[in-house]
Amino acid sequence: MDPVSQLASAGTFRVLKEPLAFLRALELLFAIFAFATCGGYSGGLRLSVDCVNKTESNLSIDIAFAYPFRLHQVTFEVPTCEGKERQKLALIGDSSSSAEFFVTVAVFAFLYSLAATVVYIFFQNKYRENNRGPLIDFIVTVVFSFLWLVGSSAWAKGLSVFGFLNFILWAGNIWFVFKETGWHSSGQRYLSDPMEKHSSSYNQGGYNQDSYGSSSGYSQQASLGPSSDEFGQQPTGPTSFTNQI
In this predicted model, what pLDDT tens digit does every residue of 72-129 receive, in sequence order?
A: 999 999 999 888 888 999 999 898 988 899 999 999 999 999 999 999 988 888 888 8
Task: Note the pLDDT of residue 44.
Answer: 92
Task: Note the pLDDT of residue 15.
Answer: 83
Number of helices (H), then strands (E), belonging to the chain: the values are: 7, 4
Cis amide bond preceding 134, omega within 30: no
In a domain, 231, yes or no: no
Q: Are residues 156 and 35 in the same domain?
A: yes
In a domain, 126, yes or no: yes
In sequence order, what are the beta bridge partners of 49? 58
Q: Are residues 35 and 130 in the same domain?
A: yes
The SS3 assignment for 64 reads strand
Task: Note the pLDDT of residue 156.
Answer: 53
How many separate domains does the chain show? 2
Q: CA quadruple 149, 155, 157, 159: dihedral positive or negative?
A: negative
d(CA 60, CA 77): 11
What are the start-end ranges of the H helices in 40-95?
none
In a domain, 125, yes or no: yes
The SS3 assignment for 78 reads strand
In sequence order, what are the beta bridge partners of 61? 47
Q: Which residues of the chain have pLDDT under 50?
A: 190, 202, 206-245
In a domain, 47, yes or no: yes
Q: Are residues 35 and 51 in the same domain?
A: no
Are the CB atoms for 57 and 47 separated by under 8 Å?
A: no
Task: Note the pLDDT of residue 38.
Answer: 87
The three-point CA angle 68-74-77 to 5° equals: 165
Task: Note the pLDDT of residue 208.
Answer: 46
Domain coverage including residue 124: 12-39+96-181
Q: Are residues 26 and 116 in the same domain?
A: yes
With CA atoms as reference, report the closest residue to 131 among 175, 180, 177: 180
What's the number of CA atoms in the CB half-sphere (13 Å) around residue 168?
8
